Structure 1
Amino acid sequence: MSSDGVSTFEVEFEIKCSAEKFFDIYADHVTMLPQVLPHMFKSITVVKGDGKSVGSVVDWEYVLEPPNFENARQTLEAVDEENMVLTKRFYGGDLGKKFDHYEATLKAFKKEDKNYVKWSLDIKKTHGEIPEPHDYMDFIERFTKEFDSSLATANISAQIDRNQK
């Protein structure tokens, strides 16, 4: 834990689809997640900006522990398309009751001819009684694997094509 009380949790996964595809679809089409993974996301709504540019604000309703939905607001803090890195800060709602600071950074990359995604969570709990964010790390793992599977089977590409018509 740092001197300001922020803890960092990291996890890395090998993915089946290309790192570029994972990053591009997540960065540009996040509002489609409720259609592609409805058991994980109830809604993702852009409330300011376009949802893909720094400063955009998005409301999320997600299932951390089935069957209950949680919610949070998210601001896109940084996007580096060249290095396939993006950072989102989540706050308010159910998540804000647990964390004073919750920032998620995604980095997609290729290493030794394999594709990977690395997630970093920087969190600061609202108080000492809040457990470590293992449930959020489990959610990130489930999401990454199911999102990757959808990308590998072209479910998301077909969904994007339908929505753009």
Structure 2
Amino acid sequence: MALAGKLETDVEIKASAAKFHQMFTHKPHHISNASSNNIQGCELHERDWGTVGTIIYWNYFHDGKPSVAKEIIEAIDAENNSVTFRVIEGDLMEHYKSFVITIQATPKGEGCTVHWTLEYEKHHGDISDPHTLLQFTVDVSKDIDAHLTAQA
């Protein structure tokens, strides 16, 4: 069984790619307002919102239990509405040696397609792939979309 893996999904939303991207780069602390069932909070630990090297601490609800993650923003591509986070501490590190999340929003018609990529390396072969976390990303995307389009 492979220890390294990659899961991907696309979510079609009505909000613009730029607005969705901005939520994850400059306003992640607002995501708990949009998706309160999934994200309970987001705190800035180091640097400034929207910059590479920023460290963010998330409180979220996944698989029926409260969880935490400390992430560093590894890359931001404003032109392509892409941001990459690397998990450096938290509940996911109990099962994974590494965990990287890339979110890219691509304009499509009136809205956009949000492409999520989860790349990970498991500690051992008995750990399942994070399919429930992939569904979590879909749910959060839909919540953010509803929040952003209600504001329009």
TM (norm. structure 2) is 0.92
The equivalent residue for 2:128 is 131
Of 138, 141, 151 in structure 1, the residue corresponding to residue 138 of structure 2 is 141
Contact 2:25 2:51 in 1 (8 A): no
Q: Give the match's secondary structure for 1:58.
A: strand
- What is the percentage of aligned positions where both structures have the same residue? 27
Match of 1:41 in 2: 39
Aligned length: 152
Could you tell me whether the CA contact under 8 Å between 1:75 and 1:89 is conserved in 2?
A: yes
1:9 corresponds to 2:10? no
Q: Write the distance in 2 (CA, Å) between the matches of 1:112 and 1:150.
A: 19
Aligned position for 2:49: 51
**Aligned residue among 52, 55, 61 for 2:59:** 61
Once residues 29 and 114 of structure 1 are traced to their aligned partners in structure 2, the CA distance between those partners, rounded to angstroms, is: 19
* Aligned counterparts of 1:151 and 1:126: Cα–Cα separation in 2: 38
Cα deviation for residue 110 of structure 1 reads 1.8
Q: Structure 1: where are the runs of 5+ without partners?
A: 158-165
Runs in 1 of length 4+ with deviation above 3 angstroms?
Answer: 111-114
CA contact (8 A) 1:91 1:100 kept: no
Q: Which moved more, 1:139-148 or 1:42-51?
A: 42-51
* Long gaps (5+) in structure 2: none
Kindly indicate whether residue 149 of structure 2 is the aligned counterpart of residue 152 of structure 1.
Answer: yes
Q: How does 1:70-81 map to 2 (within 5 A)?
A: 70-81=67-78
Contact 1:86 1:105 in 2 (8 A): yes
Contact 2:86–2:101 (CA under 8 A) maintained in structure 1: yes
User: Is 1:93 aligned to residue 116 of structure 2?
Assistant: no
Matched letter for residue 93 of structure 1: G
Equivalent residue of 2:11, what SS?
strand
Q: Counterparts of 1:48 and 1:19 in 2: how far apart (Å)?
A: 26
Query: Larger helix proportion, structure 1 or 2?
Result: 1
The match for 1:163 is none
SS at 1:92 equivalent: strand
Rg (Cα) greater in structure = 1
